Amino acid sequence: MRHEAKHKSVSETYREGLCNGKLRYQHCINCSTANFPPRKCCSACQSSELEWKDSSGQGVIHSITTVHRAPSPKFKKKAPYDLAIVELDEGFRIMVNVTPPMLGKIGSRIGMTFQEQADLSILPEAKLTAII
């Protein structure tokens, strides 16, 4: 990995991006693959020559489901909520909550937002920008 990432853990660099309102991913210098979630080597060619890039946060819903029964008490107040696999324009996929709930469909365009959680962590969330 390059630059500041050599001195920080992969997850620390990713989380710093979230705290600054940026969804960061790794771009392989060797084969140009977009890598997510963050890792120490490229998922396509195994090269360790990865550089951090900021995603535009724009993408499309690839798969979506509505969760009616929360998997734990922590999520009970949120149910029902939509959980989707979103393909970002840079070419990688991420699983995120989608707002507003129950309106997203496969193919809907999204923009990424960032939500502070009760434990003060920050998680990415997809906000519908175009409903099909």
Per-position pLDDT tens, the chain of length 132: 444 445 678 999 999 999 999 999 999 999 999 999 999 999 999 999 999 999 999 999 999 999 999 898 888 888 999 999 999 999 999 999 999 988 999 999 999 999 998 788 899 999 999 776
pLDDT at 6: 53
H helices of the chain, where? 10-19
**pLDDT value, residue 69:** 94
Helix (H, G, I), strand (E, B) or coil at 98: strand
Q: Which tokens is 83 given?
A: 């959980």
Note the pLDDT of residue 113.
96
- Give the bridge partners for 81, in sequence order: 67
- Four-point Cα dihedral 21, 44, 91, 88, nearest 10: -40
Closest by CA to 83, choosing from 58, 110, 54, is: 110
pLDDT of residue 4: 47
Q: Which domains can be identified in the chain, with CATH numbers?
A: 3-54 (no CATH), 58-130 (2.40.50)
Model pTM score? 0.86
